[in-house]
Structures are given as C-alpha cells and as structure tokens.
Chain A
C-alpha cells in the first residue's frame, strides 16, 4: 500500500462546478497535510495546508481533514479553466525531519 494515495484521474468538471479531490494516507502519525497545484512543466505551488480535523477555507478552496479515517480532501468551488492542473496531496511527519510524502497526483480538467 502506498503511503499517500490519490485517484490519478483525469477528473473532468464543467466550469462553475465544484471539483472534489480526495487523498488517503497510511501513516497514522502524520501530523500535517498539504495540497499543491502543479501546472504542466512547472513546479508545485502550495495552495492549502491543514493540521487539525475539520474544514479549512481559503477563497474558493476548502481542505477537509479526518484523521480517524486518514482522509484529506480538497474542494474547489466555482471551478475555472485556469484550475486545470495536477493536484498533489502530501503528508508530513515531524519525526521524519519534516519531509513530505506525496501522492501520485490527480489531474483536474475544467471544461469551459
């Protein structure tokens, strides 16, 4: 079992819809979770971090964390074509020097 798993997609949603991206992790001691967006040929860009159970909202983005279920999600409201990218979920364990363990990424396509 991979440490961090995501559906590779592609996930296709129409413009204006809500895109829902999911991620599960296997290491129960992971403390912090991050969502990165990566456009083709570019490096990842941090869009959300979450450390506590529940929801965290930032603009059109909402991250959700459920440590009991070992589940992290990212919702993108009012999806735009410019949101089309690969979204990487990452888990972090402070006891491992803070290194990030990445999922394989979910490719999102927002159709005009």
Chain B
C-alpha cells in the first residue's frame, strides 16, 4: 500500500515552454501533498504544500506564479513549471500524506527529472 506515482518520469523541454508534472496517490486518498526539488548531492527542498480544494502554501523564495500547483482531487496534484529556464532543471519529487491516518507519514513518488535546454 501507500503507492505514489508521478508522470512523466523524465522530461526535456525547450527554454520558455511550460511543463506539467502529475502526482497521484494510487491506493489512498491524500488531502495534503507536498512538492520538493532536489539538486545533485543536495537534500530535498520543500517548494510548497498542496491542499485539496484550496490554494497551495509556498515556501519562502518559491515563485508561486512560476510554479503553479493544483490539487483538484484527493488523489491528484499537479505542478506546472511555467516559462521554464535552464536553472529550473532539477529533480522534482512529490509526496502524499494519507487522509485520516493518525500518523503524519509521507510517501514519495518516484520523481520527475526535468531538463530545460
């Protein structure tokens, strides 16, 4: 149980285009999902907290107009990187916290590797 998928797993796009990444909880509902990015040899950096049916909460320094987050259902959150630039190239990982559980464990998706050329 507690499986989270991400799509696509790898994407290459040209500078100036937008890319959408999907995060799905496959066998549980998740009121809250999180989006992280990770640079090589670095730890995970939380970008935003995504809550179903409400606006995402962005961490300090993360541009909300550049990284659009939509959490339209209890099993799906999307991250759209708008007008991507080479510096947006990174490993983007989502996590999901099961709804209704007493614990606050988070389960991670497999990640999406974005390369902007």
| Contact of B44 with A102 in the complex, beta carbons under 8 Å | yes
A23 to chain B, nearest CB (A): 12
* A97-B57, A99-B34 known; A88-B103 Cβ under 8 A: no
Instruction: Identify which of A42, A44, A49 gathers the most chain B CB atoms within 10 Å of its CB.
Output: A44
How many residue pairs at the A-B interface have CB separations less than 8 Å?
48
| Given A49-B103, A103-B43, residue A98 in contact with residue B108 (CB < 8 A) | no
Q: Once the chains are docked, how many angstroms separate the CA of A44 from the CA of B108?
A: 6
Closest Cβ–Cβ distance, residue B30 to chain A (whole Å): 11
Contacts of B57 in A (CB 8 A): 97
Which residues of A are in contact with B by a Cβ distance under 8 Å?
Answer: 32, 34, 36, 42-46, 49, 51, 88, 92, 94, 97-105
Closest 4 CB pairs of A and B: A43-B111, A43-B108, A104-B43, A98-B104
